[in-house]
Amino acid sequence: MQSVGITARLERQQQRKAGVGTTCRNPISYCGQDYQKLKEECLRNGSLFEDDRFPAAPSSLGFKELGPHSSKTRGVQWVRPKDMLPQPQFIVGGADRTDICQGSLGDCWLLAAIASLTLNEKLLARVAPTDQSFDEDYAGIFHFQFWQYGEWVDVVIDDRLPVKAGELVFVHSVDNNEFWGALLEKAYAKLNGSYEALSGGSTSEGFEDFTGGVTINYDLQKAPRNLWTLMKKASERGSLMGCSINITSTSDMEAVTSQKLVKGHAYSVTGVDKVDYNGQKVHLVRIRNPWGQVEWTGAWSDSSALWDYVDGSEQDRLHVNDEDGEFWMSFDDWLRQYSRLEICNLTPDTLDDDGLKHWHSVTYPGSWVRGSSAGGCRNFPNSFWSNPQYRLCLEEEDDDPEDGEDGCTFVLGLMQKNRRKEKKLGGEMKTIGFVIYEIPEAFVGQPQVKLTKDFFSYHASTARSEVFLNTREVSQRFRLPAGEYLIMPSTFEPNQESDFVVRVFSEKLNHTQVMDDEVEIKTPEACKDDDDVDPSFIAVFEKLAGPDGEISPKELKNILARILRKHGNIKTDGFSIDACRNIVSLLDKDSTGKLGLTEFNFFWKRIKAWQKIYKQNDMDNSGDFNSFEMRLALKDAGYQLNDKLTQMIISRYRDDDMTIDFDNFVCCLVRLEAMSSMFKVMDQGGEGRIRLNLLQFLSMTMYG
């Protein structure tokens, strides 16, 4: 199975080089399913598409509350719209916010995002291609497009939808013969593993997966003075907006206030406008409840007498309707009632400047790996430095900043990946955040350097995320002087595993690079002259080797056991016979299957030096290494490795408790020594690269 995974990763790397997935015009076929080919095959065969990657089965509904034997899924059937109604439609009379009404799933955050999507016709047509129908060339297959962690994907589904007692279980439209919303929800459920995986979330998550944009969050208790203007500009530019009311306890969740607002519920902001009222301009905000009902009953609600003093043409323009889930509020009331606003910028455009400007953006993937690169926050100085590091070069300052302060404006977003998919396995959102440091002059222009513990012990941060949050993305806007900066993304606690992406959006072109050590091999001085044998050592060797004059794996095992018994402060499980066989095969230059005098002398010198390095880097005197000590010890032994190689090595040589004992440390160094020596022999031109035929490749990879 591992080889299949490696092959898939290599294929994906080739696709990226070809530009697949980098733009919405050239998306990746999710699960390898090509919409056009599948549809043509169904039409040719006269069959309706059945999606085996997201089957009409209990597993697609959920895993707990919507699990196979739950009361909520009892009686659910999967039915195609054509079997429900004589003339189903994909979209009826153009997509509208009333097309999206919530079913029995806690995904109001997603539906609020979909409702906002209907305000931008071009954007909706990309997410839900409008050339699909239940009439011409119908084959029971539909497709939708989403942004996922830096890539665009095209998701194929069949049109079998969950139905109970003749009604759609989840999203439905006011027009019961309209199905684009239900099909879009199904495609998004497939992308995340199940319908139940969509329960609970932030509207910004849906916004970003529809647009690839960046979301700015506003705490309305600390709202900027020009917020209404920012919202107006965002509305005019097609940006997506959502708002919500904070809860103080779980009992508050979806509690309805006296004026019919729902706490802990995701609303769409669908409009920002002004009306004339008694000779004054009143600022208004239009909100939509994904439930399709339960509306604000205060000032400027649908039934408010204040509308009687507004011209009828204005009322028509603002679509003042009855009980459709959408309503107007004064901006002041909205600020008092709601707690949080999310604005997702599509291009993304700046919101704080009057002029319309494009931002430059870069996306970098990364991983926090337990015991390797998951170092936790600054509260854990011994491991914090091991987190992935990114260099941000800000070269050009903003043009004519409004507040007169010079600097480079950028938005930094840190997004953890695939947490919804892992819900069924008990996976939860990690608590994440980031810190920004100014890079010292000595390291400016040197991306092939990973800054170590000493740097972070003696340098203060320049900026950071306001808090660490257990949300999919933490994002924040900054303005810093031109220069080079180090971005350190991390989980709050060490050894919290997750893949992530770092996104930087800046007003001016910036350069962002991964900061990592260049792979280098520097054999320590104490280990040179490997072929010189001390005369006193010959007698020792003859005694150890026995009559045949060579040391077998079994004899090596006994020798190493005697050595380790003398050092009780070093933890080890003992060198296994397999480990000794590997050591012998890696050091056996004459292919006898045993170690002769010169070969064993080489190993003896090495193990004495490695023992010293082991003790020096065992900082907590535990007798073994944690993974962060291991990286430093490898460097002291002459092996400067990058993050990827370190992760591979630690995952191979660590024990279940995430420690590396002495025997694994030695086995690792023996392999590094042998493989690097082999490389040097094959790199005859000294270019730092070699070419291998199949035999050579297999010989090297299978060696030892």
Known catalytic residues are 108, 265, 289
Expressed in angstroms, the distance from the first to the final Cα of the chain is: 22
The single-letter DSSP state of residue 30 is G
Distance CA 8, CA 698 (A): 20
Residue 88 φ/ψ, nearest 5 degrees: -65, 155
Helix/strand number for the chain, H first, E second: 21, 25
- C-alpha distances in Å from residue 516, one per residue of 32, 57, 416, 462, 645: 33, 46, 21, 21, 11
Contact call for residues 655 and 664 (beta carbons, < 8 A): yes
Task: Give the Cα separation of 489 and 389 in Å (integer).
Answer: 7
Measured distance CA(436)–CA(487) in Å, rounded: 5
How far apart are the C-alpha atoms of 429 and 280, rounded to whole Å? Answer: 47
CA angle (458 as vertex; 453, 463 as ends), nearest 5: 95
- Token representation of residue 395: 């070269």
Q: Which residue has the tokens 């990364």?
A: 366
For residue 613, how many C-alpha atoms fall within 13 Å in the half-sphere facing its CB?
25
Distance (Å, whole) CA 131 – CA 696 = 53
**Phi and psi angles of residue 483, each rounded to the nearest 5 degrees, phi first:** 155, -170
Report, in angstroms and rounded to the nearest whole number, the Rg of the chain calculated over CA atoms: 31
Task: Find the angle CA(203)-CA(204)-CA(210) to the nearest 5 degrees.
Answer: 100
Using alpha carbons, select from 132, 136, 135, 134 the residue that is nearest to residue 144.
Answer: 132
Q: What share of the chain is helix, strand, coil (3-state, %, to 5)?
A: 35, 20, 45
What does DSSP say about strands 151-158 and 28-29: parallel, antiparallel, or unpaired? parallel
DSSP bridge partners of 499? 367
Q: What's CA 638's distance to the chain center, in Å?
A: 33
**With contact defined as beta carbons under 8 Å apart, do 110 and 206 qualify?**
yes
- The residue written with tokens 């910028």 in the block is 345
Q: Give CA–CA dist 283/476, Å, rounded.
A: 27
